[in-house]
Amino acid sequence: MQEIVQDIVNADCIVLATPIYSWYCTAKMKAMLDRHYGLNKYYGSAEGSLWAGKKVGIITTHGYEGNYATEPFEMGIKRLCKHSGLEYAGMYSVQDEDDLASFQTESAVAGERDFADKLLET
């Protein structure tokens, strides 16, 4: 966990890549996000955030369709960004239709590339 925190501090952009499980991210990603309090200096008289200003993007897969599947997680991350002074940079998601091919369509790959380009824009 210590190394992940250092990677986050060193990064310009954080991409949260996770399937949607029970309307949110995986338990492992949730555990990592729960450590974000260590990056916010809100204890005692301290103020500010060690990761303020960094971009945050989401890449996700889900069984239900589009917004219905992703809205709770995306809303949570948007609020976390606001709370921590991060810049929410958007989400790319693909519906998993129980078939690996649903991740490998030309439009899915092109969409991922476009999203990566968007995240890399300064």
Ligand X SMILES: Cc1cc2nc3c(=O)[nH]c(=O)nc-3n(C[C@H](O)[C@H](O)[C@H](O)COP(=O)(O)O)c2cc1C
Query: Are residues 20 and 61 in contact, defined by beta-carbon separation less than 8 angstroms?
Result: yes
Give the number of residues in contact with ligand X, rule: CB under 6 A: 11
Q: Closest Cα partner for 61 from 106, 91, 20? A: 20
Measured between alpha carbons, how far is 27 from 33 in angstroms, rounded to an integer?
10
- With binding defined as CB under 6 A, does residue 20 bind ligand X? yes
Residues 56-95 that bind ligand X (CB under 6 A): 61-64, 69
- With binding defined as CB under 6 A, does residue 99 bind ligand X? no
Q: Closest Cα partner for 19 from 104, 113, 96, 102? A: 96
Residue whose CB is less far from ligand X, 53 or 72: 72
- With binding defined as CB under 6 A, does residue 2 bind ligand X? no
- Residues within the interface to ligand X (CB under 6 A): 19-23, 61-64, 69, 96
